[in-house]
Amino acid sequence: IALISMSPAKLLLTGYVSYMLIGWVLLSLPVAQQVPVSPLDALFIATSAVSTTGLVSVDPGGSFTLFGEIVIILLIQAGGLGYMTIGSFATLAILGKLPGMRARTTKHAFNLPEHIRPGHFVVWVVVFTLIAETIGALALWPMFAAAGEPNALWLAIFHSISAFCTAGFSLFSTSFEGYAGHAGINIVISALSILGAMGFLIVVDTWRTLTAQRRWLGFSSKVIVRMTLLFLIVGTAVLFVVEPSINALPPVERLLAAFFQTMTATTTVGFNTMPIGAMSLAALMLFFFLMIIGASPAGTGGGLKTTSFAALVGLVRSTLKGRDEIRYLKRRVPLDRLQLAASSLAFYLVLAGLAMFFLFLTEPGAAFEVVMFEVISAMGTVGLSMGITGDLSPLGKLIIIVLMTAGRVGILTFGIAIASHDESREEEQDNELVL
Amino acid sequence: IALISMSPAKLLLTGYVSYMLIGWVLLSLPVAQQVPVSPLDALFIATSAVSTTGLVSVDPGGSFTLFGEIVIILLIQAGGLGYMTIGSFATLAILGKLPGMRARTTKHAFNLPEHIRPGHFVVWVVVFTLIAETIGALALWPMFAAAGEPNALWLAIFHSISAFCTAGFSLFSTSFEGYAGHAGINIVISALSILGAMGFLIVVDTWRTLTAQRRWLGFSSKVIVRMTLLFLIVGTAVLFVVEPSINALPPVERLLAAFFQTMTATTTVGFNTMPIGAMSLAALMLFFFLMIIGASPAGTGGGLKTTSFAALVGLVRSTLKGRDEIRYLKRRVPLDRLQLAASSLAFYLVLAGLAMFFLFLTEPGAAFEVVMFEVISAMGTVGLSMGITGDLSPLGKLIIIVLMTAGRVGILTFGIAIASHDESREEEQDNELVL
Ligand SMILES: [K+]
Ligand SMILES: [K+]
């Protein structure tokens, strides 16, 4: 009864928090732990998994048993697909249709246009996810086996799911740094991450176009594909030229490393093949830019989203050129999209600033850019780190847990959910004061 | 003839650049220099003075002669009042009224409402400025004399103008660090800076209210006064509690130092009584926040402006609470104000990000937060520094020169001025492509 009266934003947040708590309990069981993991670290890993961030306060490969690893990958899968997708699917299978409230929540979480039927959407999402992850795992398996990894099949399944859900959890203690020069693994992981980050809408849209049906999302798809390609190309070029640790590599490895590090930031997957803590400050600026914007809506990635960025680009260009309406790619950007984009950016800055302020107090020894990187990585559910995560104080870990949750639910949705407010009473009060 | 066809934004930028070039020539004369000053440093100082920033690549007190110092303070006065105010005043005295184009430029620079007559405004501004600066100088003179300063009168005049124009240029090599515990000097400098930063509109509005005339700007004044007080109180409290170098002082000096350092950031005056380079990272976050928002419109200060911040606060709160219209202090915020505020913020971030990226390449040894501080200080025409200014490479100095100019003209006006664009042709093209 209380659930029915909840706003979609509160419902979403409650759902994610429920998954985190279930994960926390399961990862706290002795059967899940290879070495003792503190309750706070278990909560941190559960939150990181459900939010598909991939920041780790303890090494997952070395700290958890196979049971623990299965719990982690199921949390990632649940978080990546979205709890409402799975829930909706189960409901759909039983009842044959989606209840109204759940349908609203699904639309809210994925930013769906009004005329899409959530039932169909959920089926497509799940089928598409399973197919992509299976192909990914089958492609990774022989490569891990050939590289002499002991549990090649499990590694292939785990990393395929972790990549497609843009979670970036790795069972290797140094992520993919051991495979920095392995083109095959780089390409498969990148393909899975980009597919996950671009979102299901692109695939649906492409399929509908190919089968000559009416396209729902021509313009959104165009923006998403264009932005994704732009960021990948510009980012790779910048890192290729600017970053000394990548400069020093032979040409093919250099291109591979520049591309993979760009890909990992813009898709918010968070795997890495080069040590991030050793990057130059100019390279960090590129990472900040890519991680703040993040991935695309209706995908598994985080950040402010490429479509919000496009709306802001349209806003600034239109203002600078003195246009009356805001346009992007010759199309008028609706006012409510602009409001959402501008509010997200402003609220993002406030949240990031407050988090950094408090982290500088709780982590007195940490460098400025290292803390800033951790905050932006958590808020964008990226999971890249300059190496501070394991050394955070308990309060610091709690701050990052809140940021990962906010990043997954969506910065603005998080704000809406925690802004408990009786609107009708406020409205009345206003009228009195204005009169 | 070319001037008449220019947009107000281009005219403003051209005006400021003209003043910089005149200042550059004058400061390059041997008669202005006590010790040899390089052409780049002379340009840097001239730009810093006209933009009322106060960043200095060489120590003004030790590098220039009295003639040079007079040039600097005249550049500050010209920049602070705005070149169009002085120009308009001169024209007004001769012709008895303001030409249309000049009037539009004045309104553009000061963000004035449409129904204010620029002629009257300019007279008030100049009279008010001279009165405030005279009172300030008369108050500082005996205090400097009592402290045993050799040129007490000149020091009083120079620092009074520098404070009221929120320029922050000081003839003391360590700004006001030598007077950190001197309550009288702290209070006079703070009063001048706050008056300059709040803007003439507040004074005009207060005067009209007192004389029972119709108030033009009731709401803007309310926002400006409220924001200024809020930032001063919250900032002082935060620095009082959080900053170790201020914590360590005895109670009265501690309060004075916390207040003065907050005041200097929020008014963008840029004097300091404590070494900024030794501040903790948490204190830096407060400085970043205050310097990015900056002072109030129609004042002498820089930054995104308190009224833009209020509009953004209204935007975020209204979005989070699901309101249909954007309100602040129970008042509807007009859409064009919101568009300006959101565009300014987004463009500010892009410009700051690009500047930091290039500075990390030109200044390889510099720390992240030190470069970030310099960029935000220049863009907000604050002039506080963690001590890198004098050590910048020639390219680094040029980047800061561009940022100070952008900060003074206004970030968005700067963007409009450099976005040379034939709008009508673009419109035609659009229609073709959309059809
Ligand atoms: K991730
Ligand atoms: K200043």
Rounded to whole angstroms, how far apart are CA atoms A162 and A193? 9
Rounded to whole angstroms, how far apart are CA atoms A3 and A367? 43
Answer for the pair B242, B172: CB distance below 8 angstroms, yes or no. no
Cβ contact, residue pair A327, B242, below 8 Å: no
Domain ranges of chain B: 8-417
Cβ contact, residue pair A347, B316, below 8 Å: yes
Chain A from 293 to 352: CB within 8 A of any B CB: 312, 315-316, 319-323, 326-327, 330, 335, 338-340, 342-343, 345-347, 349-350
Query: For residue A134, how many C-alpha atoms fall within 13 Å in the half-sphere facing its CB?
Result: 6
B54 CA distance to ligand 2 middle (Å): 5
Tell me which chain B residues have a C-beta less than 8 angstroms from the C-beta of A415: 316, 319-320
Nearest to A322 among B289, B349, B423 (CB): B423
pLDDT at residue B390, as a whole number: 93
> By CA distance, what is B290's nearest residue in A?
A353
Return the minimum-mean-pLDDT range out of A208-217, A416-425, B249-258, B286-295: A416-425
Answer for the pair B95, B64: CB distance below 8 angstroms, yes or no. no
Tell me which chain B residues have a C-beta less than 8 angstroms from the C-beta of A338: 342
Q: How far is A416 from chain B (nearest CA, A)?
A: 5
Residue keyed to tokens 């049971």: A67
Nearest to B421 among A319, A321, A434 (CB): A321
Q: What is the pLDDT of residues B349-380, one digit of tens each?
A: 999 999 999 999 999 999 999 999 999 999 99
B66 close contact with A: CB closer than 8 A: no
Rounded to whole angstroms, how far apart are CA atoms B92 and B98? 6
Answer for the pair A194, A296: CB distance below 8 angstroms, yes or no. no
ipTM beyond 0.85? yes
Q: How far is B282 from chain A (nearest CA, A)?
A: 5
Tell me which chain A residues have a C-beta less than 8 angstroms from the C-beta of B237: none
The tokens for B204 are 């005009």
Nearest to A343 among B319, B369, B371 (CB): B319
Rounded to whole angstroms, how far apart are CA atoms A273 and A370? 19
Digitized pLDDT (tens) for each residue of chain A, 435 residues in all: 444 456 667 777 888 888 899 999 999 999 999 999 999 999 999 999 999 999 999 999 999 999 999 999 999 998 888 754 544 444 444 444 445 555 555 555 555 555 556 666 677 778 888 999 999 999 999 999 999 999 999 999 999 999 999 999 999 999 999 999 999 999 999 999 998 888 766 776 777 777 766 555 567 777 888 888 999 999 999 999 999 999 999 999 999 999 999 999 999 999 999 999 999 999 999 999 999 998 877 677 778 888 888 888 888 888 887 776 777 766 777 777 788 888 889 999 999 999 999 999 999 999 999 999 999 999 999 999 999 999 999 999 999 999 999 988 777 777 877 775 544 434 333 332 222
Number of H helices, E strands in chain B: 20, 2
Contacts of A271 (CB under 8 A, 6+ apart): A54, A162, A163, A168, A170, A175, A176, A189, A193, A260, A264
Rounded to whole angstroms, how far apart are CA atoms B384 and B295? 15
Cβ contact, residue pair A316, B242, below 8 Å: no
> By CA distance, what is A285's nearest residue in B?
B357
Rounded to whole angstroms, how far apart are CA atoms A246 and A255? 8
Q: Which contiguous run of DSSP H or E holds residue B184?
A: helix B183-198
A242 close contact with B: CB closer than 8 A: yes
Question: Looking at residues B155-163, what average pLDDT do you find?
Answer: 96
Instruction: Write a three-state SS string for B293-308.
Output: HCCCCCCCCCCCCHHH
Count CB atoms within 10 A of the CB of residue B192: 27
Residue keyed to tokens 């795997």: A271
Based on its alpha-carbon atoms, the radius of gyration of chain B, rounded to whole angstroms, reads 21
Nearest alpha-carbon partner for B56 in B173, B137, B166, B150: B173
DSSP structure string for B109-162 = HHT--TTS-HHHHHHHHHHHHHHHHHHHHHHHHHHHHHTT-TTHHHHHHHHHHH
Q: What is the pLDDT of residues B179-228, one digit of tens each?
A: 999 999 999 999 999 988 887 667 767 777 777 665 555 677 778 888 88
pLDDT at residue A202, as a whole number: 73
DSSP structure string for B192-234 = HHHHHHH-HHHHHHHHHHHTTPPPS-HHHHHHHHHHHHHHHHH
Q: What is the pLDDT of residues B64-101, one digit of tens each?
A: 999 999 999 999 998 888 754 544 444 444 444 445 55
Count CB atoms within 10 A of the CB of residue A283: 24
Nearest to A316 among B312, B346, B433 (CB): B346
pLDDT at residue A430, as a whole number: 34
Question: Looking at residues B44-53, what average pLDDT do you find?
Answer: 95
Axis crossing angle, helix A200-210 with helix A218-242, rounded to the nearest 10 = 120
pLDDT at B107 exceeding the cut of 60: no
Answer for the pair A242, B361: CB distance below 8 angstroms, yes or no. yes
B323: pLDDT confidence band, cut at 50, 70 and 90? confident
DSSP structure string for A289-300 = HHHHH-S-TTSS
pLDDT at residue B425, as a whole number: 40
B302: pLDDT confidence band, cut at 50, 70 and 90? confident
A309 CA distance to ligand 1 middle (Å): 19
Chain B from 196 to 235: CB within 8 A of any A CB: none
CA distance readout (Å), A80 to A20, A24, A412, B232: 13, 17, 19, 44
Helix residue ranges per DSSP H, A181-280? 183-198, 200-210, 218-242, 244-247, 251-266
pLDDT at B421 exceeding the cut of 50: yes
Nearest to B342 among A288, A315, A372 (CB): A315
Rounded to whole angstroms, how far apart are CA atoms A371 and A282? 16
